[in-house]
């Protein structure tokens, strides 16, 4: 083998080792608990049923989603100007994330079910999506100007690991938009009890919201996740869930128990 052939062989070997490392890291990021895997399976089943239900109503759904994303852009406007050149990543882009309605050509969405969603919803091709877990994002450090995580980490097995990754891929001076539903501590206790009961044989589908979420965070839990030396908190709010008037009594109870209150943070990555 001549020198050029040896160099080519070494390059291929190095690339192969790199892919192997990425594969091992991705496997480590996959949910290892039955509860987390079950939550993902339930989410896919729900989205398949929803896709069938809205098959003839895509235009209205797109208007709703576009309005939601426009509201996000307005919220972020004092902190970041989103242009066609902004490097945007949404972690947990799901069935109808913001990346599909931002109008940013190179925006990227990451979701464990990205391949399945691409076949279910017509707006998915508007952004590049990658099937990956938030605990191990397949990107270099400091890659993005704007990272969005909109109410997804409570579906994951290791929320703190996801926040670690959100911060890692955010460029210095870049902006993080982060939300998660937070709850009264009683929900955390009930969620943990549900986990124990399923180990004893309780069917997981009887768990209702506890079957769809791996954790039920309190506002204090969420605060701890984002209060980091690398981040400057620019905005923080607790937004009670809005419900129709016919559910006013239920809404009142939810407010008392802080059920599904949205914890919202905008932060900038320190240089």
pLDDT means per 10 residues, the chain with 271 residues, are 67 61 44 70 92 94 97 97 97 97 97 97 97 96 98 90 98 98 76 63 54 77 97 95 55 55 96 90
The pLDDT of residue 198 is 61
The pLDDT of residue 232 is 98
Q: For residue 3, which phi and psi values (nearest 5 degrees)?
A: -60, -40
- Name the strand (E) or helix (H) holding 239: strand 231-239
The pLDDT of residue 235 is 98
Measuring CA to CA, which residue among 158, 156, 157, 178 is closest to residue 167? 178
The pLDDT of residue 26 is 43
The pLDDT of residue 24 is 38
The pLDDT of residue 133 is 95
The pLDDT of residue 216 is 81
Interval 16-64: pLDDT, tens: 645 544 443 443 445 456 767 878 888 999 999 999 999 999 999 999 9
Q: At which residue do the structure tokens 């939550």 appear? A: 39
Q: For residue 195, which phi and psi values (nearest 5 degrees)?
A: -60, -40
Long-range contacts from 213-216, C-beta under 8 angstroms, 24+ separation: 213/39, 213/154, 213/155, 214/33, 214/35, 214/36, 214/39, 214/154, 214/155, 214/156, 214/157, 215/154, 215/159, 215/188, 215/191, 216/154, 216/183, 216/187, 216/188, 216/190, 216/191
The pLDDT of residue 42 is 83
């Amino acid at each position: 083998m001549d020198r050029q052939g040896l160099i080519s062989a070494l390059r291929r070997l190095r690339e192969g080792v790199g892919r192997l490392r990425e594969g091992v890291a991705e496997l480590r990021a996959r949910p290892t608990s039955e509860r987390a895997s079950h939550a993902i399976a339930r989410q896919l089943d729900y989205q398949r049923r929803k896709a069938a239900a809205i098959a003839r109503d895509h235009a209205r759904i797109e208007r709703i989603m576009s309005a939601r994303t426009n509201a996000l852009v307005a919220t972020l406007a004092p902190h970041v100007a989103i242009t066609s050149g902004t490097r945007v990543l949404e972690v947990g882009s799901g069935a109808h994330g913001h990346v599909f309605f931002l109008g940013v050509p190179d925006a990227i969405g990451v979701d464990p079910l990205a391949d399945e969603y691409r076949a279910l919803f017509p707006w998915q091709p508007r952004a590049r999506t990658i099937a990956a877990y938030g605990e191990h994002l397949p990107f270099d450090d400091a890659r993005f100007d704007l990272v969005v995580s909109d109410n997804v980490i409570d579906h994951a097995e290791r929320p703190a690991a996801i926040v670690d990754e959100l911060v890692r891929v955010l460029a210095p001076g870049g902006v993080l938009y982060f939300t998660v539903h937070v709850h009264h501590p009683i929900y955390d206790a009930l969620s943990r009890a549900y986990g124990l009961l399923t180990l004893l044989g309780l069917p997981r589908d009887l768990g209702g919201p506890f079957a769809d979420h791996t954790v039920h965070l309190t506002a204090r839990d969420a605060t701890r996740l984002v209060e980091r030396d690398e981040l400057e908190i620019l905005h923080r709010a607790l937004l009670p869930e809005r419900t129709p008037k016919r559910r006013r009594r239920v809404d009142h109870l939810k407010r008392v128990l802080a059920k599904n209150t949205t914890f919202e943070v905008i932060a900038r990555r320190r240089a």
